[in-house]
Chain A
Amino acid sequence: AQSVTQLGSHVSVSEGALVLLRCNYSSSVPPYLFWYVQYPNQGLQLLLKYTTGATLVKGINGFEAEFKKSETSFHLTKPSAHMSDAAEYFCAVSDGNQGGKLIFGQGTELSVKP
Protein backbone atom coordinates (compact mmCIF):
# COMPACT_ATOMS: atom_id res chain seq x y z
CA ALA A 1 0.00 0.00 0.00
CA GLN A 2 1.10 3.52 -0.68
CA SER A 3 1.08 6.38 1.76
CA VAL A 4 2.19 9.97 2.00
CA THR A 5 3.25 11.89 5.08
CA GLN A 6 3.57 15.64 5.14
CA LEU A 7 5.52 16.90 8.10
CA GLY A 8 3.94 19.96 9.60
CA SER A 9 0.28 20.78 9.15
CA HIS A 10 1.11 24.46 9.19
CA VAL A 11 4.18 26.35 8.04
CA SER A 12 4.65 30.09 8.42
CA VAL A 13 7.34 32.09 6.62
CA SER A 14 8.07 35.73 6.02
CA GLU A 15 7.68 37.24 2.60
CA GLY A 16 10.93 36.72 0.69
CA ALA A 17 12.04 33.81 2.83
CA LEU A 18 12.68 30.26 1.72
CA VAL A 19 9.69 27.95 1.57
CA LEU A 20 10.25 24.29 2.46
CA LEU A 21 7.32 21.88 2.65
CA ARG A 22 8.22 18.32 3.50
CA CYS A 23 6.80 15.16 1.99
CA ASN A 24 7.78 11.56 2.54
CA TYR A 25 6.19 8.66 0.77
CA SER A 26 5.93 4.92 1.01
CA SER A 27 5.54 2.82 -2.08
CA SER A 28 6.39 -0.72 -3.06
CA VAL A 29 6.78 0.27 -6.71
CA PRO A 30 8.42 3.24 -8.41
CA PRO A 31 6.15 6.11 -7.50
CA TYR A 32 4.78 8.99 -9.45
CA LEU A 33 4.82 12.02 -7.15
CA PHE A 34 2.83 15.23 -7.29
CA TRP A 35 2.45 18.53 -5.49
CA TYR A 36 -0.87 20.35 -5.65
CA VAL A 37 -1.98 23.74 -4.30
CA GLN A 38 -5.49 24.49 -3.11
CA TYR A 39 -6.93 27.92 -2.46
CA PRO A 40 -10.02 28.24 -0.22
CA ASN A 41 -13.15 26.62 -1.62
CA GLN A 42 -11.41 25.70 -4.84
CA GLY A 43 -10.15 22.57 -6.51
CA LEU A 44 -6.54 21.54 -6.83
CA GLN A 45 -3.95 22.96 -9.17
CA LEU A 46 -0.90 20.97 -10.13
CA LEU A 47 2.38 22.61 -9.16
CA LEU A 48 4.73 19.92 -10.43
CA LYS A 49 5.15 16.21 -10.83
CA TYR A 50 7.83 13.55 -10.93
CA THR A 51 7.39 10.48 -13.08
CA THR A 52 10.78 9.41 -14.41
CA GLY A 53 14.03 11.02 -15.43
CA ALA A 54 15.52 14.09 -13.79
CA THR A 55 15.02 14.04 -10.05
CA LEU A 56 14.89 17.81 -9.68
CA VAL A 57 11.56 18.95 -11.00
CA LYS A 58 10.63 22.55 -11.67
CA GLY A 59 7.04 23.65 -11.51
CA ILE A 60 4.89 26.72 -11.79
CA ASN A 61 5.17 29.87 -9.70
CA GLY A 62 8.84 29.28 -8.95
CA PHE A 63 8.36 26.03 -7.04
CA GLU A 64 10.57 23.00 -7.40
CA ALA A 65 10.93 19.62 -5.76
CA GLU A 66 13.58 16.95 -5.65
CA PHE A 67 12.87 13.24 -5.70
CA LYS A 68 15.25 11.45 -3.35
CA LYS A 69 14.72 7.73 -3.54
CA SER A 70 17.16 6.93 -0.73
CA GLU A 71 15.24 9.21 1.61
CA THR A 72 11.80 8.44 0.13
CA SER A 73 11.24 12.17 0.03
CA PHE A 74 9.82 14.72 -2.37
CA HIS A 75 10.14 18.07 -0.57
CA LEU A 76 8.77 21.22 -2.14
CA THR A 77 10.82 24.42 -2.12
CA LYS A 78 10.65 27.97 -3.32
CA PRO A 79 13.57 30.38 -2.83
CA SER A 80 11.48 33.43 -2.03
CA ALA A 81 7.95 33.37 -0.68
CA HIS A 82 5.29 35.69 -2.00
CA MET A 83 2.10 36.69 -0.26
CA SER A 84 0.12 34.97 -3.01
CA ASP A 85 1.73 31.64 -2.08
CA ALA A 86 -0.43 31.42 1.04
CA ALA A 87 -2.58 28.33 0.49
CA GLU A 88 -2.93 24.65 1.30
CA TYR A 89 -0.40 22.34 -0.30
CA PHE A 90 -0.85 18.63 -0.87
CA CYS A 91 1.71 16.02 -1.77
CA ALA A 92 0.34 12.96 -3.55
CA VAL A 93 1.58 9.63 -4.85
CA SER A 94 0.23 7.58 -7.69
CA ASP A 95 0.79 3.98 -8.52
CA GLY A 96 0.09 3.28 -12.15
CA ASN A 97 -0.63 -0.33 -11.29
CA GLN A 98 -3.61 0.84 -9.28
CA GLY A 99 -5.19 2.68 -12.11
CA GLY A 100 -3.66 6.00 -11.39
CA LYS A 101 -5.61 7.02 -8.33
CA LEU A 102 -3.89 9.56 -6.11
CA ILE A 103 -3.15 9.09 -2.44
CA PHE A 104 -2.82 12.44 -0.72
CA GLY A 105 -0.87 13.57 2.28
CA GLN A 106 -2.58 15.41 5.09
CA GLY A 107 -1.80 18.79 3.63
CA THR A 108 0.31 21.73 4.82
CA GLU A 109 -1.13 25.16 5.23
CA LEU A 110 1.39 27.80 4.23
CA SER A 111 1.10 31.25 5.74
CA VAL A 112 3.20 34.14 4.47
CA LYS A 113 3.80 37.09 6.76
CA PRO A 114 4.48 40.55 5.34
Chain B
Amino acid sequence: GAVVSQHPSWVICKSGTSVKIECRSLDFQATTMFWYRQFPKQSLMLMATSNEGSKATYEQGVEKDKFLINHASLTLSTLTVTSAHPEDSSFYICSARDRGGMNTEAFFGQGTRLTVV
Protein backbone atom coordinates (compact mmCIF):
# COMPACT_ATOMS: atom_id res chain seq x y z
CA GLY B 1 0.00 0.00 0.00
CA ALA B 2 0.89 3.64 -0.28
CA VAL B 3 3.02 5.23 2.41
CA VAL B 4 2.47 8.50 4.21
CA SER B 5 5.32 9.68 6.37
CA GLN B 6 4.87 12.15 9.18
CA HIS B 7 7.74 13.93 10.87
CA PRO B 8 8.54 14.28 13.66
CA SER B 9 6.84 11.40 15.45
CA TRP B 10 7.04 13.28 18.71
CA VAL B 11 8.08 16.75 19.78
CA ILE B 12 8.30 18.66 23.04
CA CYS B 13 8.35 22.43 22.87
CA LYS B 14 8.18 25.37 25.19
CA SER B 15 5.04 27.42 25.50
CA GLY B 16 5.04 30.31 23.05
CA THR B 17 7.17 28.67 20.41
CA SER B 18 6.05 27.33 17.03
CA VAL B 19 6.23 23.77 15.83
CA LYS B 20 6.12 22.49 12.25
CA ILE B 21 4.86 19.02 11.38
CA GLU B 22 5.47 17.54 7.94
CA CYS B 23 3.29 15.08 6.07
CA ARG B 24 4.72 13.44 2.97
CA SER B 25 3.24 10.99 0.52
CA LEU B 26 6.23 8.84 -0.41
CA ASP B 27 5.07 6.89 -3.44
CA PHE B 28 2.02 8.68 -4.77
CA GLN B 29 0.78 12.16 -5.50
CA ALA B 30 -1.78 13.63 -3.18
CA THR B 31 -3.76 16.63 -4.32
CA THR B 32 -5.60 16.55 -1.01
CA MET B 33 -4.30 15.97 2.48
CA PHE B 34 -6.24 16.07 5.70
CA TRP B 35 -5.09 17.07 9.17
CA TYR B 36 -6.69 15.54 12.23
CA ARG B 37 -6.29 16.07 15.95
CA GLN B 38 -6.80 13.36 18.51
CA PHE B 39 -7.06 13.84 22.25
CA PRO B 40 -6.32 10.89 24.56
CA LYS B 41 -8.97 8.21 24.45
CA GLN B 42 -10.96 10.20 21.92
CA SER B 43 -11.72 10.10 18.25
CA LEU B 44 -10.07 11.94 15.41
CA MET B 45 -11.37 15.41 14.74
CA LEU B 46 -10.81 16.87 11.31
CA MET B 47 -9.01 20.18 11.54
CA ALA B 48 -8.56 21.14 7.92
CA THR B 49 -8.37 19.95 4.36
CA SER B 50 -5.20 20.86 2.54
CA ASN B 51 -5.25 21.25 -1.22
CA GLU B 52 -2.11 21.52 -3.27
CA GLY B 53 -1.55 25.02 -4.54
CA SER B 54 -4.47 26.62 -2.75
CA LYS B 55 -5.55 27.73 0.70
CA ALA B 56 -6.59 25.12 3.20
CA THR B 57 -10.21 24.70 4.21
CA TYR B 58 -10.59 24.78 7.97
CA GLU B 59 -13.33 23.14 9.97
CA GLN B 60 -15.54 25.26 12.15
CA GLY B 61 -13.89 26.24 15.38
CA VAL B 62 -10.32 25.69 14.18
CA GLU B 63 -8.16 28.82 14.34
CA LYS B 64 -6.55 29.21 10.96
CA ASP B 65 -4.04 31.74 12.26
CA LYS B 66 -2.89 29.33 14.91
CA PHE B 67 -2.74 26.20 12.79
CA LEU B 68 -1.04 27.21 9.57
CA ILE B 69 -1.26 24.71 6.76
CA ASN B 70 0.82 24.79 3.62
CA HIS B 71 0.52 22.30 0.76
CA ALA B 72 3.28 23.42 -1.55
CA SER B 73 3.65 20.28 -3.60
CA LEU B 74 1.78 17.09 -4.49
CA THR B 75 3.78 15.17 -1.92
CA LEU B 76 4.15 17.54 1.03
CA SER B 77 1.82 19.32 3.41
CA THR B 78 2.92 21.04 6.59
CA LEU B 79 1.05 22.01 9.75
CA THR B 80 2.58 24.72 11.89
CA VAL B 81 1.26 25.22 15.39
CA THR B 82 2.07 28.85 16.15
CA SER B 83 2.63 30.20 19.64
CA ALA B 84 1.90 26.80 21.09
CA HIS B 85 0.34 26.48 24.53
CA PRO B 86 -0.17 23.46 26.78
CA GLU B 87 -3.76 23.07 25.57
CA ASP B 88 -2.37 22.44 22.08
CA SER B 89 -0.73 19.27 23.33
CA SER B 90 -2.28 16.46 21.36
CA PHE B 91 -1.73 13.74 18.77
CA TYR B 92 -1.82 15.16 15.26
CA ILE B 93 -2.40 12.83 12.32
CA CYS B 94 -2.36 13.54 8.62
CA SER B 95 -3.84 11.54 5.81
CA ALA B 96 -3.51 11.74 2.07
CA ARG B 97 -5.70 10.63 -0.77
CA ASP B 98 -4.26 9.41 -4.01
CA ARG B 99 -5.24 11.85 -6.71
CA GLY B 100 -7.01 8.97 -8.44
CA GLY B 101 -10.47 9.65 -7.07
CA MET B 102 -12.81 10.41 -4.21
CA ASN B 103 -13.58 6.88 -3.14
CA THR B 104 -10.01 5.77 -2.85
CA GLU B 105 -8.49 4.89 0.44
CA ALA B 106 -7.03 7.62 2.64
CA PHE B 107 -3.57 6.66 3.82
CA PHE B 108 -2.59 7.85 7.26
CA GLY B 109 0.70 8.99 8.66
CA GLN B 110 1.98 7.54 11.92
CA GLY B 111 1.03 10.65 13.84
CA THR B 112 2.93 13.29 15.79
CA ARG B 113 2.72 13.55 19.55
CA LEU B 114 3.04 17.22 20.51
CA THR B 115 3.70 18.13 24.12
CA VAL B 116 3.85 21.80 25.05
CA VAL B 117 5.47 22.55 28.40
What separation, in Å, do the CA atoms of A51 and B100 have in the docked complex? 15
In the complex, A63 has a CB within 8 A of chain B: no
A84 at the interface (CB under 8 A from B): no
Partner of A106, one of B43, B108, B109: B43
Q: Is A74 an interface residue (CB 8 A)?
A: no
Which residues of A are found within 8 Å of B49, using beta-carbon distances? 99, 101
* A-chain residues with CB within 8 Å of residue B103 when the two chains form the complex: 32, 51-52, 94, 96, 100
B93 contacts A107, C-beta separation under 8 Å: no
Cβ 8 A contact of A49, one of B6, B95, B97, B105: B105
Q: A96-B102, A99-B32 are in contact. Are A107 and B95 (CB under 8 A)?
A: no
Assess the A107–B110 pair: CB atoms within 8 A: no
Instruction: Tell yes or no: B85 within 8 A of A by CB.
Output: no
> A105 and B110: CB pair below 8 A?
no
Interface residues in B, total, Cβ within 8 A? 26
Q: Are B34 and A102 in contact (CB under 8 A)?
A: yes
Taking a contact as CB atoms under 8 Å apart, the answer to whether B108 and A43 are in contact is: yes
A103 CA to B102 CA, complexed, in Å: 14
- Secondary structure at chain B's binding surface: helix, strand, loop or mixed? strand
Expressed in whole angstroms, the minimum distance between the Cβ of B49 and any Cβ of chain A is 6
Chain A residue numbers with a CB within 8 Å of B4 are 43
- A→B interface (CB under 8 Å): 32, 34, 36, 41-46, 49, 51-52, 90, 94, 96, 99-107
Residues of B within 8 A of A (CB): 1, 4, 6, 32, 34, 42-46, 49, 57, 91, 93, 95, 97, 102-103, 105-111, 113
23 inter-chain pairs at a CB distance below 8 angstroms, sorted by A residue, are A41-B91, A43-B4, A43-B93, A43-B108, A43-B109, A44-B95, A46-B1, A46-B105, A46-B106, A51-B103, A90-B44, A96-B102, A96-B103, A99-B32, A99-B57, A99-B102, A101-B46, A102-B44, A102-B46, A104-B45, A105-B43, A106-B43, A107-B43
